[in-house]
Chains A and B, each alone.
Chain A
Amino acid sequence: MKGIKTDGTAIQVMSVDDSAISRKMIKKALEPEGFVVCAEAGNGKEAVELYPKIKADVITMDVTMPVMDGLEAASAIKKINPGQKIIMLSAMGDDDIINDAKSRGIDDVYCKPFKAPELIERILKLM
């Protein structure tokens, strides 16, 4: 069970994506390995508002979302907690977006479609 830490507790993941199907697929990829999707948000604003109430080891963050995009949300969350690990998980991943993500302190960029084993490895790398 790759989602279980050495202290026996589960790695907590927050999933931020405006696509309910995408959030469902992330959950299906992670939960069989023991990860817990502790929170879900449908846009960046929801994620920023929810963030202080949860404790996530890693956040998967889409970029293009209504109300507030993932890059802005990541900046806001990093302001609250600079150590928060964030993986940008988006269908868009051109050089400009990757550079923007890096300048905001986003820890990793992974373009959809994701594969469950690779997503898991990328989360584990940040732990």
Chain B
Amino acid sequence: MSTSHIAPFVKSSVTIFKDMLGLEVKSGTTENEGDSFASRGFSVIVGFTGGWKGRFFLDMTGATAIQLASTLTGEEYSSMADEEVLLSGAELGNIISGNAITDINNTYPGLNLRLTPPSVFAGDDLSMFNVRLNSCSVLIDTSAGPIKINVAVEEGKK
């Protein structure tokens, strides 16, 4: 697991936060957490397969998830468990990881990475484990609150 694995996801996230959601992005901090991390309460997971195998996590508080969903749809929500908040989180994870994977595929022709459908988890005291995969996190401080990006990758044959 190296910074070259997470860099396209960070770049894509910052672009989407700024251009699609209009967020102010203040700073990013790398975090080394081994194979697990404690969720802030709302986590989107998108898997990818092909020449590399791995997972992309987007983790934030419920309040941040609600704010992002409202920005996307123009509607107000009171709970992170609202179906449209969950679907908005999934779409956001899909777009960020799709853009990152596009960048990786164009940089390393032949990898042919493809995404799996996103999953969204919302609740208290969630622990996220990357079983058998090394991971790296970057905590991005945005005007909607901190958003963690965690990428776990295993390189296969290229």
A interface residues with partner B (beta carbon < 8 Å): 18-22, 24-25, 28, 64, 66, 90-97, 111-113
Chain A residues, CB < 8 A from B90: 19, 21
Look across to chain B and name the residue whose beta carbon is closest to the beta carbon of A91. Answer: B98
A77 to B15, CA, bound (A): 34
- In the complex, the answer to whether A96 meets B95 with C-beta atoms within 8 Å is no
Chain B residues, CB < 8 A from A28: 73-74
> Contacting A94 at CB < 8 Å: which of B84, B88, B101, B117?
B101
Asked whether A112 and B98 contact (CB < 8 A) given A66-B117, A94-B105, A96-B112, the answer is: yes
Is B154 located at the chain interface by the 8 A CB criterion? no
Given contacts A24-B73, A91-B98, A92-B101, 5 further A-B contacts (CB under 8 A): A19-B87, A21-B73, A21-B84, A21-B90, A28-B73
Chain A residues, CB < 8 A from B114: 64, 92
Is B19 located at the chain interface by the 8 A CB criterion? yes
Chain B residues, CB < 8 A from A92: 98, 101-102, 114-115
18 contacts between A and B (CB under 8 A): A20-B87, A21-B84, A22-B91, A25-B72, A64-B114, A66-B117, A91-B94, A91-B97, A91-B115, A92-B101, A92-B102, A93-B98, A94-B102, A95-B105, A112-B95, A112-B99, A113-B16, A113-B20
- In the complex, the answer to whether B102 meets A111 with C-beta atoms within 8 Å is yes
A66 to B102, CA, bound (A): 20
Chain B residues, CB < 8 A from A113: 16, 19-20, 95
A97 to B105, CA, bound (A): 10
Give chain B nearest CB distance to A91 CB in angstroms: 3
- In the complex, the answer to whether B91 meets A93 with C-beta atoms within 8 Å is no
Chain B residues, CB < 8 A from A91: 94-99, 102, 115
Look across to chain B and name the residue whose beta carbon is closest to the beta carbon of A65. Answer: B117
Look across to chain B and name the residue whose beta carbon is closest to the beta carbon of A94. Answer: B105
> Contacting B115 at CB < 8 Å: which of A20, A21, A64, A96?
A64
A29 to B72, CA, bound (A): 11
Is B109 located at the chain interface by the 8 A CB criterion? yes
- In the complex, the answer to whether B106 meets A94 with C-beta atoms within 8 Å is yes
* Among A24, A90, A112, A113, residue most surrounded by chain B Cβ atoms (within 10 Å): A113
Chain A residues, CB < 8 A from B102: 91-94, 97, 111
Chain A residues, CB < 8 A from B96: 91
Chain B residues, CB < 8 A from A21: 72-73, 84, 87-88, 90-91
Look across to chain A and name the residue whose beta carbon is closest to the beta carbon of B84. Answer: A21
- In the complex, the answer to whether A19 meets B98 with C-beta atoms within 8 Å is no
Give chain B nearest CB distance to A115 CB in angstroms: 8
Look across to chain A and name the residue whose beta carbon is closest to the beta carbon of B96. Answer: A91
A90 to B54, CA, bound (A): 21
